[in-house]
Amino acid sequence: MKIQSDEIYSTKEVQDYLKISKSTIKRYLKKGIIKAKKVGGRYKILGKEILKLVSPDTEEKVKRKYLKLRTKVKEKIKDW
């Protein structure tokens, strides 16, 4: 399945593409990790939002945040 940036996808299609559970897609939508619009009671997600999520840039941002948090935690527990 190839994601097109200008196409609109349902939550089920996104779940299948990303191989995530229903609860995970709900959590992503609630936290704004994936931006979507609600149309007729169902979420519709633009392809560009899915592509942003799986892009190497996003992975790098997550890695930097993780390393920053890890350093902060190490500093905090060092004095214990």
Enumerate the β-bridge partners of residue 44. Answer: 10, 37
Q: What is the pLDDT of residues 23-62, one digit of tens each?
A: 999 999 999 989 999 999 999 999 999 998 888 887 788 8
Determine the pLDDT at residue 1. Answer: 67
Q: Is the pLDDT of residue 5 over 80?
A: yes
Domains and CATH numbers, the chain: 8-78 (1.10.1660)
d(CA 23, CA 40): 20
Q: Kindly state the percentage of the chain with pLDDT values over 90.
A: 65
Q: Is the pLDDT of residue 78 over 90?
A: no
Buried b (16+ CB within 10 A) or exposed e, 58-69: eeeeeeeeeeee
